[in-house]
């Protein structure tokens, strides 16, 4: 039974974002791969003790509590769907891990991010607007931002993707939202004609990472907030983790069994 494919169809019927669906499917696939590696039974034989064991397995890894809880939230949605479809006999719900450590938040506060974005848009420099929208819309590194080439961008009226090259010449394809698509389109309308293959260019050619830092520092000084590309990356990462924990939480069945 292709449970994962059917689960994906269910998620898409709820009209969730591609990022949210991708997280659910990745977390669920990791769980099912772990389950198949420990037992000869199919997923229809899932029991509450499997949830207990997998939670302990996650806690034994070097992952942040918020990441573990996001994975647990994904698995809970999957198990709930399996139960409602009649694929498993008992409702399974894994309790989240309590975070007993206090970690320093390294991103921007929502109010500061709002002020920064508004200041950049108000100033009206389309290249700067494109930079901030890509950074807060994708969470890529500043080195990846300056490495974007024109051929790495695919845009259409309703969707778009960005091919990003990371460490070790590896690349990944990221879906981009309408704000990012709009910012890129508007910047390309005024981008100076240049032989450079890179998206962001200045008077001396392709921009380097220190130029991005200087641009962000300028706007940060205007609103009296410290801003770095790394802080923007942390901000988006934190928001995504929280989104997975709080969105798409369907009403739980009354007869569910809570796993401690």
Question: What is the reported pTM?
Answer: 0.56
Structural domains counted in the chain: 2
**Within a domain: 217:** yes
Q: Are residues 75 and 173 in the same domain?
A: no
Range of the structural domain that residue 44 is part of: 3-103+241-259
Q: Are 211 and 201 in contact (CB under 8 A)?
A: no
Q: Are residues 220 and 136 in the same domain?
A: yes
Q: Are residues 162 and 135 in the same domain?
A: yes
Angle between helices 229-246 and 126-138 (to 10 degrees): 40
- How many other C-beta atoms are found inside a 10 Å radius of the C-beta of residue 72? 23
Region 52-74: mean pLDDT is 89
* 25-29, 61-65, 68-72, 93-97: least confident range: 61-65
Q: Are residues 129 and 180 in the same domain?
A: yes
Q: Is the pLDDT of residue 29 over 80?
A: yes
**Within a domain: 202:** yes
**Within a domain: 233:** no
């Amino acid at each position: 039974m292709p449970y994962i494919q059917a689960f994906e169809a269910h998620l898409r019927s709820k009209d969730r974002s591609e990022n949210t669906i991708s997280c659910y499917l990745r977390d669920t696939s990791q769980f099912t791969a772990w389950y198949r590696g420990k037992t000869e039974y199919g997923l229809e034989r899932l029991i509450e003790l499997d949830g207990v064991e997998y939670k302990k397995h996650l806690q034994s890894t070097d992952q942040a509590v918020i990441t573990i809880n996001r994975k647990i939230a994904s698995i809970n949605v999957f198990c709930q769907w399996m139960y409602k479809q009649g694929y498993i006999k008992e409702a399974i719900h894994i309790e989240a891990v309590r975070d007993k450590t206090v970690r320093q938040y390294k991103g921007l506060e929502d109010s500061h991010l709002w002020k920064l974005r508004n200041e950049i848009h108000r100033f009206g420099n389309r290249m700067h607007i494109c930079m901030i929208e890509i950074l807060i819309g994708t969470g890529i590194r500043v080195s990846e931002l300056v490495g974007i080439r024109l051929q790495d961008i695919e845009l259409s009226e309703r969707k778009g993707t960005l091919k990003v090259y990371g460490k070790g010449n590896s690349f990944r394809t990221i879906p981009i939202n309408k704000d990012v698509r709009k910012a890129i389109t508007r910047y390309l309308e005024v981008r100076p004609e240049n032989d450079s293959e890179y998206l962001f260019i200045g008077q001396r050619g392709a921009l380097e990472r220190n130029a991005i830092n200087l641009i962000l520092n300028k706007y940060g000084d205007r609103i009296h907030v410290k801003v770095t590309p790394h802080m923007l990356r942390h901000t988006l990462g934190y928001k995504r983790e929280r989104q997975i924990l709080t969105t798409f939480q369907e009403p739980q069945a009354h007869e569910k069994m809570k796993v401690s």
